[in-house]
Chains A and B, each alone.
Chain A
Amino acid sequence: MPAPRCALCARPAALRRPKTGQALCRRCFVAAFEEETHRAIVAGGLFRRGDAVAVAASGGKDSSVLAHLLGRLDRRHRYGLRLVLLSVDEGIAGYRDASLGAVRRSRGALPLLVLSYEELYGWSMDRVARRLGPASHCTFCGVFRRQALDRGARLLGVDKIATGHNADDIAETVLMNFLRGDVARLRRAAAEATGAATEATRTTTKATGTATEVTGRTATSKEDLGKVSEATGTVGTATEATTRVSEATRSHTKATTSPLETTDSAEATTSSVQATRSPTEATRNPVEATRSSTEATGSTTKASRSPMETTNSTVATKNPMEATKNPMEATRSSTEATRSPTETTKFTEPPKSPTEATRSPTEDTRSPAKVPRVPRPPASPAAAPWPAVPRCKPLRHAYEKEIVLYAYFEGLDYVSTECLYAPHAYRGHARALLKDLEAARASSVAALGHSGRRLAVGAHVATKALGACARCGYAASQPLCKACVLLASLNRGLPRLGLGKRALGLAGGAGGHGASDLGGDGHVGGDHGVGGDVGGGRGAGGHGACSHGACGHDVNGHEDDSSWVGSHGASDRGAGGHGTGGHGACCRGAGGRGASDHGAGGCGASGHGAGGHGASEHWTDTPRAGGHGACCHRAGGHGAGDHGAGGHGACCHGAGGHGAGGHGAGGHGPCCHRAGDHGAGDHGGGDHGAGGHGAGDHGPCCHRVGDHGGGDDGAGDHGAGGHGAGGHGAGDHGAGGHGACGGPGASRGGEEEAVEVEVVGRGGRVQRRRVLGLGRARGALNIWDF
């Protein structure tokens, strides 16, 4: 049977397009595929002229096609992009080394940066797998990869990360999340831009009240805001958009005065974006968003700068197509929506200076002290996370079949080795199901993606907003990001603890601040005793949360879960203790020691707070007391005097070294730590340094550099950074601060840590370089001049 003819020319057809059933010859297909991708890019507002874009390159079919296509489209349509390949070496022998070879071979003239898990986290996937046993590899790997890409992107200073996710991948994800009942991910799954951006825009729609002014006109309903957000291109409208590019473009041109900032800031504030009314804000910055943290405290802070940008960019515009096309959208959009000035340029020019234009006085209720303008670690889990680099999926509407055929017809060199661990992945089931669905009805792939994008979650369904990881500062929907949780569990030799619900507790503990974790070790020292560490250890710090949890118990030997909270101290310290957990730390400690000792107080939730002190007393007596850092914290705790109020934190350390206290402490009384106080010496350990942080966070002041002295802690394993030592004071901390704490991980994430990366310049020069501040200082590596 001869092949039918191409629907567009007379040549023999080479394939039947899955979505439309249209038969096309090779040449017409390649042209159509490229044109559609181009239109999706334009309609979705994925890039802005002059953007630096990192293409996440695995060496597989999707990313190879993506890199090839972006290069070609950029030349053809003069996007003006600066493209770079970003690869992650997971450390999977026989798999990733082969595919990285393909990336190196086929990179053309694009520069390439390769980051490895080994360098970033101290663990290759092969080692993780040996530790893990038969399952869950992909969970670890995926979580680490996501953050690795973020770090690489920040290092390069790129504006966007483009990933090769295709329509099938997105449909699989939608299915998987349905099967798991993961509502939060469902919300984010099919978003065109970064998950966080979507989150932000959706949250925005929940705004209690918004005043959006667009070039003199006002769109007042929250629905508008949501709608507008859609128009910014953050959400997938491209499928439909391809048929009406001009409209979409028109709206997004305006809407995305600065698409980059949009997502960027969105990411930074996702947790927060609660729009509040700010009638006084002029036209450029119609909406004020407040941080979630401030919501928590009930304060009405002015929007932080990023949320503003977010809303600024969302200012927008009416996108009539959206409204009519999608009933859901339609109901959301208000009739007042204004229409944006018509601009038909394909690409939006960079905004003159949207940031300045929109920046409004920012008051952060939580940090009264002047905060250094350098990146700094979030003050608390609720704080804005590090602005993650926005992501986009230019191939989101492309069927896998077409990608594979495109690669075949274009002769692209890609590697199709199956990851050794993939057969165990849950995704495989979703994939098999999808393929069966596709065989029955080809359009189901696109339909699932569309469903994911259009999914509406009832207002009563609470999903966690993204915040910042208390340890590393990257986006997290929990106090600690999953990467830090998993890493902490690995480093503790209990990798499975990082999985599942409980993980939080543990981690959490950690969460506390990272400190804890590390702290853990610290404790060991006997202070807490094992138990301490474990659970408590961290927990402790954790402040709160963690505290309780987990830790405690396990360690203590309460085997039963019940313990969780109670566990600990429960008894001893009294629930309350932990409660707060914060102190939880103590708790453990407590536990460790005689419960009594600490007494609840110890923990007292207040842990820090007042309670804290209570603790103090104990402590005092009890030698150990100090030990725990936890207690420590409490001011009194420690030598009360010592630190004084601030004490706590500080103290803690001192004592505990554990960082645990550290934090918390820090948290609080910034001052506390006066330099001398801790002094590295104190902690000596530095170990915990951790604690350090806390401090840092909060009271910036406190730590003066000298205080902790980076050095000291530095060592600190963890913490070192912790406090980064100096960090704080220095302002550094900022980031460093915690991050550091993170423990190995921590340290690795810390500002001071140098990580070796592979850089391949345009000309093919390969170099291994040690870079500082990986993932922190934006644009620290100028790969284009390499």
Chain B
Amino acid sequence: MAAPVSLQVEFGGGAELLFDGVKKHQVTLPCQPEPWDIRNLLKWIKQNLLKERPELFMQGDSVRPGILVLINDADWELMGELDYKLQDQDNVLFISTLHGG
């Protein structure tokens, strides 16, 4: 049973528009049997934070291609992507590259 995890989740580059325009969210993930990873976090975000048009944020069980994910300011591609195990106080930033330009 993993302990609750507190995170700062941020959205930018236009992704915040899907979250009522709110860029920074302080969240606490509840206890659950398995450790929290990004895959679970995305599910949780979809159920708890996402306000509209989930297809613009998610594709399958991952983020939509074109949305960058930074974990503690590092590219998630360096961190195991969906399998990254979240630590307490992690900062997860989603930046859309799909907007504007």
Contact = CB atoms under 8 A, between A and B. Distances in A.
A401 B97 contact: yes
A780 B77 CA distance: 51
A164 B12 CA distance: 20
B68 A416 contact: no
B99 A439 contact: no
B65 interface: yes
A405 B74 CA distance: 10
B100 interface: yes
Contacts of B73: 14, 26
Interface stretch (A56-64, A173-181, A690-698): A56-64
A332 interface: no
Interface in A1-22: 1, 3-4, 12-16
A400 B78 contact: no
B75 A16 contact: yes
A16 B77 contact: yes
A448 to B, nearest CB: 15
B101 A164 contact: yes
A404 B97 CA distance: 7
B19 interface: no
A692 to B, nearest CB: 42
B70 to A, nearest CB: 8
Contacts of A15: 74-75, 77-78
A419 B101 CA distance: 10
Given A3-B74, A416-B13, A405 B68 contact: yes
B97 A418 contact: no
Nearest to B75: A15
Given A401-B68, A404-B68, A431 B98 contact: yes
Nearest to A414: B100
Interface stretch (B1-9, B25-33, B44-52, B79-87): B79-87
A610 B98 CA distance: 59
Nearest to B98: A431
Given A60-B100, A401-B68, A404-B97, A416 B14 contact: yes
A256 interface: no
A3 B79 contact: yes
B79 A61 contact: no
Nearest to A415: B100
B64 to A, nearest CB: 8
A435 interface: yes
A516 interface: no
B97 A417 contact: no
Given A401-B68, A439-B65, A58 B80 contact: no
Contacts of A63: 101
Contacts of B65: 432, 435-436, 438-439
Contacts of A432: 65
A528 B6 CA distance: 76
A715 B87 CA distance: 73
B54 interface: no
A35 to B, nearest CB: 20
A22 to B, nearest CB: 11
Contacts of B85: 1
A416 B99 contact: yes
Contacts of B101: 58, 60-63, 164, 166, 169
Contact of A1 (B64, B79, B100): B79
Interface in A676-719: none
A414 B13 CA distance: 8
Contact of A13 (B64, B78, B97): B78
Given A404-B97, A416-B96, A418-B100, A14 B13 contact: no
A416 B98 CA distance: 9
Nearest to B65: A435
B41 to A, nearest CB: 15
Contacts of A251: none
B78 A23 contact: yes
A166 B97 CA distance: 12
Most central of B68, B78, B100 by chain A CB within 10 Å: B100
Contact of A408 (B64, B95, B98): B95
Most central of B65, B74, B80, B101 by chain A CB within 10 Å: B101
B75 A14 contact: yes
A16 B78 contact: yes
A99 B100 contact: yes
B55 to A, nearest CB: 11
A238 to B, nearest CB: 21
Contacts of A169: 101
A164 B100 CA distance: 12
Given A1-B79, A408-B70, 7 more contacts: A3-B78, A14-B78, A15-B77, A60-B101, A99-B100, A168-B97, A435-B66
Interface of B: 12-14, 17, 64-66, 68, 70, 73-75, 77-80, 84-85, 95-101
In the complex, the 4 A-B pairs of residues with the closest C-beta atoms, listed nearest first: A416-B14, A435-B65, A15-B75, A60-B100
